[in-house]
Amino acid sequence: MNKVIYLDHAATTPADPEVVAAMLPWHSQEFGNPSTVYSLGLSAAEALQEARETVARAIVCSPEEVYFTSGGTESDNWALKGAADALAAKGKHIVTSSIEHHAVLETTEYLEKRGFEVTRVPVDSGGLVDPEDVRRAFRPDTILISIMHANNEVGTIQPIAEIGRIAKEAGVLFHTDAVQTGGKIPLDVDALGVDLLSMSAHKFYGPKGVGLLYMRKKTKITPLLHGGGQERGRRAGTHNVPGIVGLAKALELAGARMAADAAREAPLRDKLWSGLEASIPCIFQNGDPEHRLPCNLNVRLEGIEGESMILMLDMEGICVSSGSACTTGSLEPSHVLLAMGIPAENAHGSLRMTLGRSTTDKDIDYFLEVFPPIVARLREMSPVWCDRCACKQRN
């Protein structure tokens, strides 16, 4: 097979070879259970502690505030269900946004079925939450806010620090889903003013199936998983030592490369957009033009479906996405784009390109060579595309 041009780094990233090397000994040579007291277990426990300290340095917290999980989905579920259960006697109202990842969205829907009430604040046309809307949503019985740091589809970065200040003033617990920002932009939990923060290793060149929940000291939250006394009795289950070592290594590498990666990816992303805009009529950018991740470009094209573009690009060896990885395959238009006010028929024609460490200038040139003819071909076949009626909608 020819080289694959991978432009879907928001879905997942390849584990860095250094990460894989760091993980290897913990699978078979150093296989001890870190909860045991003999030397083999103790060396695993030491590796765990080192990983905890690495994470703590990266997000500026203390190691005791880091809890390892199986990934972003578990961290989000735990933060929301755990806080809701712990605080139910105080109140049953939760504030979140209308563009959260399904891991948060569906958890809030589940909590609604259990009698909690949820206010979903709107976003503007770029996908930004207005912190004042969060303030206005507060009620005396509000117990939790959950607003994501950066959106996984359009890359818009939310004003988390401002929302954090509002949450603190009101004395309301604040969770952010930082799965798309972890390892990509600097994170400091105090500067952000969050009490709970979710991250996932496979988004920053670490292994799949491992993540973390940062939990500020004294935060009231019930366990999601019951069993052994791991993670200070708050998250049961034998530790995934290789995964946790890999997560920490990946975060350390990401910290060292963060500025250079962003400085390389943002101009490539901008080149991609200028090239698309110059060669394809009726193409628009989704997401906030200013407050956005350096690696994300999300576009919509009139008259065609995201799925057909993905399949034709795949035939040319290019991997892109039409929404989040989890919504790809579903025929529902993205709830994120709908919340941004994009009509359903245009939301269907959206495409997400997310650049990463492997992306080269040549990849962008190749994409710009093959994509415009694909669009032209699909539009020729499209029953809803006509040159006369096109482009009524502007950014």
Shortest spacing between CB 70 and ligand PLP, in angstroms: 8
Decide: is 325 part of the binding site for ligand PLP (CB under 6 A): yes
Tokens representing 139 are 């009620």
Tell me which of 108, 142, 152, 296 binds ligand PLP, using CB under 6 A: 152
Exactly one of 326, 386, 389, 391 is catalytic; which is it?
326
Decide: is 180 part of the binding site for ligand PLP (CB under 6 A): yes
Tell me which of 48, 103, 247, 301 binds ligand PLP, using CB under 6 A: 103
Shortest spacing between CB 333 and ligand PLP, in angstroms: 18
How many DSSP H helices and E strands does the chain contain? 13, 12
Radius of gyration of the chain (CA): 22
Shortest spacing between CB 91 and ligand PLP, in angstroms: 25
Residues contacting 6, CB < 8 A, separation 6+ = 14, 319, 356, 358, 359
The one-character DSSP state at 157 is: B
Shortest spacing between CB 263 and ligand PLP, in angstroms: 23
Tokens representing 56 are 């703590």
By C-beta, is 150 or 378 nearer to ligand PLP? 150
Q: Where does this chain touch ligand PLP (CB under 6 A) — which range of 122-130, 172-180, 312-320, 375-383?
A: 172-180
- Residue type for 199, please? M
CA torsion through residues 105, 314, 260, 244, sign: positive
Q: Where does this chain touch ligand PLP (CB under 6 A) — which range of 176-184, 212-220, 300-308, 315-323?
A: 176-184
Site for ligand PLP in 293-312 (CB under 6 A): none
- Backbone φ and ψ of 356, nearest 5°: -155, -165
75, 83, 149, 178, 284 from 100: Cα distances, Å: 14, 17, 10, 11, 22
Residues contacting 171, CB < 8 A, separation 6+ = none
Q: Where does this chain touch ligand PLP (CB under 6 A) — which range of 69-77, 286-294, 312-320, 338-346?
A: 69-77
Tell me which of 200, 296, 298, 354 binds ligand PLP, using CB under 6 A: 200
- CA pair distance 47, 41, nearest whole angstrom: 10
- CA pair distance 259, 261, nearest whole angstrom: 6
Shortest spacing between CB 200 and ligand PLP, in angstroms: 3
- CA pair distance 109, 174, nearest whole angstrom: 18
Shortest spacing between CB 322 and ligand PLP, in angstroms: 14
Tell me which of 34, 72, 306, 323 binds ligand PLP, using CB under 6 A: 72
Tell me how crowded residue 112 is: count the other CB atoms within 10 A of its CB.
13
Q: Reply yes or no on whether 389 is catalytic.
A: no
Decide: is 206 part of the binding site for ligand PLP (CB under 6 A): no
Q: One symbol per residue from 74 to 93: x for binding ligand PLP (CB under 6 A), - otherwise; what is it?
A: --x-----------------
Decide: is 148 part of the binding site for ligand PLP (CB under 6 A): yes
Tell me which of 8, 65, 177, 302 binds ligand PLP, using CB under 6 A: 177
Helix (H) or strand (E) holding 350: strand 350-354
Decide: is 15 part of the binding site for ligand PLP (CB under 6 A): no
Report whether 51 contacts 62 (CB < 8 A).
no
Tokens 């399904």, residue? 102
By C-beta, is 103 or 347 nearer to ligand PLP? 103
- Residue type for 354, please? T
Decide: is 107 part of the binding site for ligand PLP (CB under 6 A): no
Q: Of the candidates 222, 180, 186, which has an alpha carbon nearest to the alpha carbon of residue 77?
A: 222
CA torsion through residues 226, 228, 229, 231, sign: negative
Site for ligand PLP in 208-227 (CB under 6 A): 211
Shortest spacing between CB 377 and ligand PLP, in angstroms: 30
By C-beta, is 72 or 183 nearer to ligand PLP? 72
- CA pair distance 200, 324, nearest whole angstrom: 15
Q: Where does this chain touch ligand PLP (CB under 6 A) — which range of 67-75, 110-118, 212-220, 361-369?
A: 67-75
Which chain residues interact with ligand PLP by CB under 6 A? 71-73, 76, 101, 103, 148, 152, 177, 179-180, 200, 211, 324-325
Catalytic amino acids? 326
